[in-house]
Homo-oligomer: A and B are copies of this chain.
Amino acid sequence: MNDAPRPLIDPDDVRIFSGRSNPGLAAGIARHLGLPLDPTHVDRFRNDNLEIQLGASVRGRTVFLVQSFVAPVAEHLLELLMMLDIARGAAAREVHAIIPYFSYARSDKKNQPRISITARLIADLIETAGASHVMTMTLHSPQVHGFFGVPIDPLTARALFVNHLRDCRLTPDSAVVVAPDAGGAKSAARFAEHLGLPVAVATKTRISDTQVMIDPLVGRQVVGFRRALIYDDEIATGGSVAELCEILVDHGVADILVACTHGLFLGNAIDRLAHIPQISQIVTTDTVHIPASKRLVNMRILSVAPVFGEAIRRNFRHESLGDLFAFGDGRR
């Protein structure tokens, strides 16, 4: 998007710092803006307390702090809270928390007694620590937006996916978008609409207390399609995707694309996906850092740096975020 990087905003007015969760993405965002990534010094006292110093003066400036909530989540959270506290305490003009992957968005309701709606708790902690604004991407449910007391812009990677998939020549007669469960139906349908493709929805049945199975019924919906695009907001262990692929293949699907915004690929996820020959491509983003060891040959990692960079630029220039914004995005 930005071949010859040059400052789009006065570099002296802005500071960008990264936590330790995803420095590559932070660097990419800074590069997109033609700005330096300012150094963050993180150390640890002998008693395991964190010791953080922001490496450039923030007085009177607009500060952006980039941190994804990947493992170790609690430490990355505290790291961000401390960075927010430092920026506010050092008299920054505005303090923006950029959280590409907000893992706790999954804890968004109380489906058992005496548990925490942790997404709200963390929204409050972020406000307490000094954030004046938050940017994030594809929250698990769009309602989590309402948990924040400060303005928040949940962005979307949809445009990146649509752009990329255009080259894959998916046509409505041969290809179908598949949501791996009912929760993702709405989001998948909206995605399919952008691609001009039909949509099928898998549902799950509880077999026993600990086991859930995908209803084979979804197979009937995909009969006649040669290609399928499985779409979800996040892939963790890849178990559901693998199970779903099996059903799709059983019903005649010969070529499968898998797309997800947050590619966690935990446990033996990579192994599982690598052993399904019908998967021709896995498309994901860098909201979560993916180490080389997990990068399968058929994996395409789209960088969200231009999305966040562009949002920062527009925010700074008071332009509308328009198509970057995830209106109603998320699984519900």
Given A73-B48, A264-B47, residue A53 in contact with residue B86 (CB < 8 A): no
Distance between Cα atoms of A325 and B111 in the complex (Å): 10
Given A145-B109, A146-B143, A236-B46, residue A125 in contact with residue B320 (CB < 8 A): no
Distance between Cα atoms of A257 and B79 in the complex (Å): 38
Q: How many residues of A contact B (CB 8 A)?
A: 92
Mark the stretch among A116-124, A162-170, A222-230, A298-306 that contacts chain B. Answer: A116-124
Within the complex, what minimum Cβ distance (angstroms) separates A91 from chain B? 4
Q: Chain B contacts of A289 at CB under 8 A? A: none
Return the CB mask of A241-271 against B: 1 if under 8 Å, else 0: 0000000000000000000000010110000
Distance between Cα atoms of A54 and B91 in the complex (Å): 26
Kindly report how many copies of this chain are found in the complex they form together.
6
Given A57-B319, A320-B57, residue A328 in contact with residue B110 (CB < 8 A): yes
Mark the stretch among A1-9, A22-30, A58-66, A277-285 that contacts chain B. Answer: A58-66
A137 interface hit (Cβ, 8 Å): no
In chain A between 68 and 119, which residues have their CB closer than 8 angstroms to a CB of chain B? Answer: 70-75, 77-79, 81-83, 85-86, 88-91, 103-104, 106-119
Q: Chain B contacts of A125 at CB under 8 A? A: 81, 125, 128-129
Given A74-B75, A75-B75, A128-B128, residue A142 in contact with residue B49 (CB < 8 A): no
A171 interface hit (Cβ, 8 Å): no
A to B CB contacts below 8 Å, 24 in the list: A45-B106, A46-B267, A47-B70, A47-B106, A47-B234, A47-B266, A48-B73, A51-B115, A59-B318, A59-B319, A60-B316, A74-B75, A74-B78, A78-B78, A81-B121, A85-B117, A86-B116, A89-B117, A110-B145, A117-B145, A117-B146, A125-B125, A146-B146, A182-B182
A321 interface hit (Cβ, 8 Å): yes
